[in-house]
Amino acid sequence: MGLVLISSGVLPEERAHTFIYATNDVAQRGIDIAQQDPRVRQIFDDAIARKGTVTIAAVQPTVMVDRHTGESSYSSAGQVVITSNWQTIGGTAYSEPQSFAAVADRSLESHQQLWHVLVDVDNGQVTQINQQANGVLSDTIILRLYVLR
């Protein structure tokens, strides 16, 4: 069963529309550890500056519970996946809805950045951060009006 957390606007990174979830309580510790790392804090600061949306998902470790004793076991290796998404129209951040007429014939770029943060949940430290290449989709917004007859 997954643990779902919705942003409350309390932490600075949550001003960037942040969605946080963990697959279990041990994975949640991975999120808590990652949020204290200065490199991860920089990821959040960059997302705020771009007016982006951030998803933080703690996907490891998997917790096994012995059916007979109720004892749990898990690897200390946790993984937190951070995704940052942002859009620009005409080279400026697009964070508020606008009418099609206001954005017609302007360039649109949609960006996605992804990081895999490896965490040692038992020792309370980030061991590695792997950044993936920035994905970018770009096009021109075309406004077309159709008359139905």
Sketch the domain layout of the chain as residue ranges.
3-64+72-85+113-133
Is residue 140 within 8 Å of residue 105, measured between CB atoms? yes
The share of the chain scoring above pLDDT 90, in percent, equals 20
Confidence of residue 143 (pLDDT cuts 50, 70, 90): low
Q: Which residue has the higher pLDDT, 126 or 145?
A: 126
Looking at the DSSP bridge assignments, the partners of residue 78 are: 119
Taking the whole predicted model, whether its pTM rises above 0.85 is answered as no
Whether the predicted pLDDT of 1 surpasses 70: no
Confidence of residue 13 (pLDDT cuts 50, 70, 90): very low
φ/ψ (deg, to 5) at 40: -70, -40
CATH for the stretch 3-64+72-85+113-133: 3.10.450
Q: Tell me the CA distances in angstroms from 138 to 46, 96, 100, 114, 123, one per residue in order.
A: 21, 18, 17, 18, 42
Q: Which residue has the higher pLDDT, 36 or 109?
A: 36
pLDDT given for residue 38 in this prediction: 95
Q: Is the torsion defined by CA of 14, 19, 21, 27 positive or negative?
A: negative
Residue-wise pLDDT tens digits, 61-104: 888 888 888 888 888 888 899 988 888 887 777 767 677 677 77
Name the DSSP letter for residue 99.
Answer: -
